[in-house]
Amino acid sequence: MEALWLSKAEVERLLDPRVLLDALTQGFADLSAAKIACPTRAELTVPGAGFLLPMAAWQPGGPMAVKMVTVFERNGSKGLPSHLALICLFDAETGATIAVMDGEHITAMRTAGSAAVSARLLARQDARRLTILGAGVQGRAHLALVPLTREIDEILIGSLYYEDAERLAACDPRARPIRSFEEAVAGADIVCLASHAPAPVISADWLRPGTHVTSVGYAPPSGELDPAVVARHRLFVETRLAFEPPPAGCAELHGLDPASGTELGEVLLRRRPGRQDAEEITVYKAMGIAMEDMVAARLVYEAAQRAGLGRVLTL
């Protein structure tokens, strides 16, 4: 049995950001239309070290996808990223493995991509000022993707460590680092939380009317999103599984009524409204779902076949 192996460098080369946003948009619509199987994810914990999340999805007409992602916070001292991932694709007729690829880049891009899709759907059309709080892997991915959704002319970047914000801001001529999170949020049209912080990094009182807020951090038992932001404003999610307790859902949403959230796919399918006026504050909280990995991995696999990239392995 043969499978295509794709390295991180090849995945980075093959995954087109704009194509990814369009594919994710369709994926959210298909998910809400019950056209995608996406089982609840589980967690395997190594006490005192980290955890592994296995995540699977399948849509008729394509391969099954399974991602194994690990989060080990002390990896930095060993020269490794805290988040590592591997994605496998399986033929839906035979179950045979057809591809194995590095999942680190896909995880970063699909996570920021979901936030970007929410901005595409929910941010004001005249949004011009973007604030990103978090200057790590997710901050970098948000800087690459969210500005594709609007004509952004100013980007403010904040981080727990100012030097990290400086380094990320140097990657885009529109960006500059900031020290005051409150000032950066108060003047923003789109606020992206990408910090992985275990406690809220902004206050609901900082937001001005018309802001769109996104949060992708996952740090149970709490998280980066102020519960008051969720309580006061309209909430949007990938799927209502987000209201389940972690690891299936979001710590910040656990215990809330699932009916209080609107799926992005429901907006796309016109089943529920998106932004209703220019003054409304909209909030998107992501949990990270396997549909996003499946969509991205399939794009990479098909692009690799067209380009003749990758290495065939005999299993």
Segment 26-65, tens digit of pLDDT: 999 999 999 999 999 999 999 999 999 999 999 999 999 9
Record the pTM.
0.95
Domains, the chain: 2-106+291-314 (3.30.1780.10), 124-287 (3.40.50.720)
Q: Running DSSP on this structure, what letter comes out for residue 199?
A: S
Segment 203-255, tens digit of pLDDT: 999 999 999 999 999 888 889 999 999 999 999 999 999 999 999 999 999 88
Segment 148-176, tens digit of pLDDT: 999 999 999 999 999 999 999 999 999 99
Segment 280-302, tens digit of pLDDT: 999 999 999 999 999 999 999 99
Which residues lie below 8 Å from residue 127, measured CB to CB, with a gap of 6+? 119, 150, 152, 189, 190, 212
**Mean pLDDT value of segment 269-283:** 98
Ordered strands of the 129-133 beta sheet: 175-177, 154-158, 129-133, 190-193, 212-215, 282-285, 234-237, 261-263
Residues 96 and 122 sit within 8 Å (Cβ to Cβ): no
What type of residue sits at position 307?
A
- The whole-angstrom separation of Cα 176 and Cα 131 is 10
- The whole-angstrom separation of Cα 162 and Cα 74 is 21
